[in-house]
Amino acid sequence: MLNNIADGLVYFAVFLLSTTLHEAAHAWVAKRGGDLTAYHGGQVTLDPIPHIRREPFGMLILPLLTVLISGFPFGFASAPYDPRWAMQHPKRAAWMSLAGPGANLLIVILSAIAIRVLAAQGIVRAPQAISFGHIAASEAGGWWPAVAFMLGAFFCMNLLLAAFNLLPLPPLDGSGALPLLLSDETSRKYQQFIWQTPGIRFMGLFLAWQFFGFLFRPILVGAVNLLYPSFDYR
């Protein structure tokens, strides 16, 4: 139980930092695209405090409660934007939507590079079996086992955040990115439909949670097999 909570607190810290980067990326790209809503809200920053101030329940209270209950943080966050700007510039709004998962994928890549560099030096190695967060092992002593676990936690948490948010279901970022595949007029009709039908967002979240558990394991295994090409994890 104590190990689960200890691991969960690491996952919480990783969740907090990763979600902060996710929302800051949304806010920064929106600012670059002409919408200053999140900028004026103080969210073009890697400081977690403004993001926690906007969503204290989703970024702090709920994740800590779920760590204590289940050993894993569950939470949410958001960055504000102007819907009128999104309707006027659907392609810019789509890039804003992709920015959050893109930031998470960047952390996945950086974590993978760090693991590969340490593996080349013999400090970490591929484990016999993998599970969430536990994708690198080390017998080097000192802080290296903790570093291996932390890198694995960043890799897995950000892979999860990117994959989940890229599902093309409202209100997730994958849905917001659909205007890149649509004409501007069709994009506006789609956005208007989403805004005028709030129930579809609840339905989208429900479907996402129902099916994501089945989708993520193959994604994680595939990503770790790319990390260690000579292994064939199942």
SS3 category, 40: helix
Report the pLDDT value the prediction gives residue 31, as an integer from 0 to 100: 98
Neighbours of 188 (CB within 10 A): 16
Map residue 95 onto helix, strand or coil.
helix
The strand pairing partners of 125, in sequence order, are: 137
Number of residues that make up the chain: 234
pLDDT at 21: 98
- pLDDT computed for residue 178 by the predictor: 96
How far is it, in rounded angstroms, from Cα 35 to Cα 179? 17
Residues 6+ apart with CB under 8 A from 8: 67, 68, 70, 71, 72, 73
Name the residue ranges covered by the structural domains of the chain.
1-78, 91-229
Closest-CA residue to 123 (of 107, 137, 109): 137
> Would you state the pLDDT for residue 5?
87
Which pLDDT score is estimated for 198? Answer: 84
Mean pLDDT by 10 residues, the chain (234 residues): 81 98 98 98 97 97 95 95 95 98 98 98 97 96 96 98 97 96 93 90 93 95 97 94
